[in-house]
Every structure is written in C-alpha cells, then in structure tokens.
Amino acid sequence: MRLTLMLPGALTPTPLATELAGALQAPALGRIVARGALTGDWSASDEVPAPDDHWLAREVFGTHGRAPTAPYAWAALTGRRETSQEVWRADPIHIALGRESLIVHSLHDSPLMETEADQLLAAANELCANAQCELRRAGSEWFMFTAQPWSLQPPPLTAMTGAPLPLPDSNSADALRWSRLHNAIQMRWHAHPVNEAREARGLPIVNGLWLHGGGTWKPLSRMPWPRVHSSRPDLRGAAQAAGAQASTGDTAPDSDALLVWDDALRACLNADWTAWLAAMANIDRRLAALLDAELDLVLSGRHRLRQWRTRPVDRLKLWRNHSLAEVLSE
C-alpha cells in the first residue's frame, strides 16, 4: 500500500522549531522521518503565496495556477454540478484595523449561526442582483454564483488569514466591479442586527467576504490515487470529478490513497502553539497505523512545503538520522 499523507500546518517558524519539537509527543512521526529522504522543498513567493494550495492545485486539480476549488466543493456538499454559472467560495470574514493596514481574519473560531447567516445572505443578495450574481450557502459554507466569468485570481483564505487586505487591481474591470459590490455589502452589514448582536456577545462582526476558488465544474484528469480521504469538500469533489473514490477520512485506508489531515492548520495560522502540539499529537496517534506503508509525507507551513519519502526498508539506512526539529522547521 502506497500512501501520500499531507499535513498542512505541520511546519513551524524556525526560531520555535527546536522548542516545539522537544515538547511534541510524536514517536510515530519521529520514526518515519528519521530515516526518510527529502524529495521536495518549496518556498512561498509572489507566484506561490501558499505552497500547500499550490501543491494541491497541481496534484489534485491538475493546474499550475489557482485551483477552481469552489465548484467541486459545491458538488461535494450538494450533489449538484454547476457547469454554466461560475461558482466562487465567498467566505465571511472579519476585517480588523491594524497599525498600518486592514487585516483579514477568518471566522472559523466564531462561526455564524444558521439564522445569522441567512439574514446576512438575504441582505447582501438584495445588492447582488444588480451585479448578476447570487450568494448561497451549503451548511456553513458560502458560495457566490455569477452569470458571467470574473477574471479574478485571489489566493485562498488560509493564505490571507492575519494578512493585510490587498487593494483591488485598478487595471481589472472585474476586480473593480467586485470591489464596488463588496463595499456596498459592507455598508449594508455595518449596522445590521446580526452584527449588533454579535458585538454585544463579544464576537467579531462580519464585515467582509473573501472571494476565491472561482470556476465551473468540469471533469478532471485521473489522479495518481484511486482514493482521497479528506475533510475538505473541494478535495472530495475533485476526487469524484477525476473518477476516484472520496471519503471524509474517518476510515483507515485499505489501498493506495491521498490523505489530507489538516488538524494542525488552524493552530498554525493562529500561532497557537499549545493547540498545535495537541493537534500534532493526535495526528501522531493516527499515523502509528501507517508505519508499515510506503509513505510520501507532505508537510507545509505558512511559507514552505517539504516532501519526504519513506519505505519500510529505510529503517536499515542508519546513516540517515533526521531530527524532528530539522524536519518541522520552516
């Protein structure tokens, strides 16, 4: 059995790597990487702001640009394939005032209730109609449908959490169109009862949307794996579009597969290293069941991605002795 296991959020800032590796209870991970071989190393750049998403775009979606994740997430969540309208992820966010810029924050830790989401969607859709678009949700996930394609290339929200809000591209008519609509939605939501109630409860208000992953559903090229195990709906939808089987990752793999365990991602993005240690320890307990597999291990952080290859025979290669601090450092 050959497995590819991706662990977004597993890499840590270099100044903290030694301390965190010393505190981490991860015997299975340590055993796997100690004798493994480094097979890939990528750093973030202007073209590749999120190395993990770049890797998934290439390996899962078959593109070297930004992956059209939204239509595949919509298909996985609803069972409907949108082949005519363009579908975008439209994540509700909190935009905070920083020292020198506006800062993007995810609402992952303070999500909207269903009634709150429906009220904000209804208010925004009164404005979207004139722009020939519509907001919809599938469970807690928000999507925007546009009658015409929009030539936008924003990174995913995970690449923007805690980062400055970029200015719209003044040379792009679609970027300016979205900016004007977004400003109108922000004004409509500013004094909305939902936000007044959230503020009274000490929760961040919803004052923005992060649009990303736009595209239409199309069949995808066959992947190297017959199965994909992930909690991410876009990856499950992409697997189905490529003729592979998909699951949420709750079952142990019994054949060649891609596994994406993003337990540590949120803690890494929030620089919550106590939560990161707990998440990585939980990952290690699951990893113990894979010690006898042929394993390609893909580790990523905010700015770097490394790929390791390990086979059971590698345990005899005593000249390799990688430490966890070395492996987990960005």
User: Out of 3.40.720.10, 2.30.30.140, 3.30.565.10, 3.10.580.20, which CATH number does the structure's domain 2-63+219-328 have?
Assistant: 3.40.720.10
Q: How many C-beta atoms lie closer than 10 Å to residue 34's C-beta?
A: 19
In the 3-class helix/strand/coil scheme, how is the chain assigned residue by residue?
A: CEEEEEEECCCECHHHHHHHHHHCCCHHHHHHHHCCEEEEEEECCCCCCCHHHHHHHHHCCCCCCCCCHHHHHHHHHHCCCCCCCEEEEEEEEEEEECCCCEEEEECCCCCCCHHHHHHHHHHHHHHHHHHCEEEEEECCEEEEEECCCCCCCCCCHHHHCCCECCCCCCCCHHHHHHHHHHHHHHHHHHCCHHHHHHHHCCCCCCCEEEEEEEECCCCCCCCCCCEEEECCHHHHHHHHHCCCEEECCCCCCCCCEEEECCCCHHHHHCCCHHHHHHHHHHHHHHHHHHCCCEEEEEEECCCEEEEEEECHHHHHCCCCCCCHHHHHEC
What are the pLDDT digits (tens) for 117-165? 999 999 999 999 989 999 999 999 999 999 999 999 899 999 898 999 9
Report whether 5 contacts 295 (CB < 8 A).
Answer: yes
pLDDT one-digit tens code per residue, 210-237: 999 999 999 999 999 999 999 999 999 9
Q: Where are the domains of the chain?
A: 2-63+219-328, 85-215
CA distance 120 to 228: 34
pLDDT tens digits, residue range 58-83? 999 999 888 999 999 999 999 999 99
For the chain, the residue count is: 330
- The model's pTM is 0.93
CA-nearest of 48, 45, 73 to 58 is 48
Q: Using CA atoms, how far apart are residues 114 and 289, in angstroms rounded to an integer?
A: 38
Region 9-21: mean pLDDT is 94
User: Please, are residues 258 and 55 in contact by the beta-carbon 8 Å criterion?
Assistant: no
Q: Is the dihedral of CA 51, 57, 60, 62 positive or negative?
A: negative
Position 268 scores a pLDDT of 94
